Structure 1
Amino acid sequence: MKVLVFLLLLSFSLAQDLYSEFIRQQVKELPLEKAIVVGKGKRELITFINPDCGHCRKEWTELKPHLDKVKLYVFLLPFKGFPESYAKSHYIACSKDKVRALDEVLLGKFDRNPPKVAECPLVYEHIRAAEKLNVQGTPYNIVLGSYKVIEGYSPALLKNLGIR
């Protein structure tokens, strides 16, 4: 029985290592220069968000006070079939001040009246980046360095970043 438990733990550990290596290779191909970069910290986080996702908004309010400690690479992933989500994404992606626009949208400024803006090609580049990683939902986070993937909202995100 002890041998079986040991083998199961070993196989789980090897699977985690393989998955981390897979993510590391995928991140190398991500166009980080196309991300919306927020913050100036040493800890880095790639995050895929949807402007209408409640958990993404909650995560933003938790990360925002720590932008001196963390650098975010934000990729927008609007919900398919929801034009308001696309409008907000286009607004953020083509704004001159993308960080301000991101903050406005995630704090709900356009919830009752989505912005009327032209389409922005950057949004489609973000969607392609999400497709390469097979991102199925938001928020979807990758902690750079450890390449730990955190799918969905996690109250332990700041801890995983070494902030709390």
Structure 2
Amino acid sequence: MRLLLTLLLLLKLSLAQDLYTEFIRSQVKEIPLNKAIVVGKGKRELITFINPDCGHCRKEWQALRPHLDKVKVYVFLLPFRSFPESHAKSYYIACSKDKLKALDEVLSGKFDGRTPQVKECPLVYEHIKIAEKLNVQGTPYNIILGSYKVIEGYSPALLEHLGIR
């Protein structure tokens, strides 16, 4: 009897995980990847929502950055609502000609305490709308394409889940 209950519980968990994966897969279909800031040329793919002033996002970027030959990252910017500096940094990244350089500069802290003087960038508002539609509440928020695994917050295991460590 105990074995039967254990098997039923495992089956229920497996079905729940399958449903969750299908839910994430359906949500990913709604994400306009052509609106993302795309960096990297790898075969593995990651969608990430980041905030330029988020310490965990910066830590994650430092972990991902050396592996851009193995992973393609679709970056969506999600600035803090009430922090103008966060918005300015997002505008700087989104409308920069060299987005990889801009990501490196902002996420390394180059503009901390001295906001970049840039115009508003409409792409940032599109990113915010996409995040709202997906109900993304915090950053970093990651979806690994292929497995449709979601990792909320910084995780040192992200590279393992991507299969690059």
SS in 2 for 1:159: helix
Any idea what SS the aligned residue of 1:150 has? strand
Equivalences for residues 42-121 of structure 1 within 5 A: 42-121=43-122
Match of 2:27 in 1: 26
Gaps in structure 1 of 5+ consecutive residues = none
Superposed, 1:145-160 pairs within 5 Å as 145-160=146-161
CA distance in 2, matches of 1:128, 1:3: 46
SS in 1 for 2:128: helix
TM-score for the superposition, normalised by structure 2: 0.96
Q: CA deviation at 1:112?
A: 1.3
Alignment deviations for residues 123-142 of structure 1 (CA, whole Å, 9 cap, x no partner): 01101111121111110000
Question: Which residue number in structure 2 is paired with residue 136 of structure 1?
Answer: 137
Q: What's the Cα RMSD here?
A: 0.9
Q: Which runs of 5+ in 2 are unaligned?
A: none
- The 1-side partners of 2:43 and 2:101 are apart by 21
Take 2:138 and 2:4, find their aligned partners in 1: how far apart are those partners?
A: 38
The 1-side partners of 2:111 and 2:150 are apart by 30
**Aligned partner of 1:109: which letter?**
K
Instruction: State the one-letter code of the partner of 1:150.
Output: I
Q: Secondary structure at the match of 1:85?
A: helix
- Give per-residue Cα distances to partners, 1:95-150, cap 9 Å, x unaligned: 11111111100000000101121111100110111112111111000000000000
Give identity over the alignment, percent: 80
Whole-Å Cα distance in 1 between the matches of residues 5 and 133 of structure 2? 36
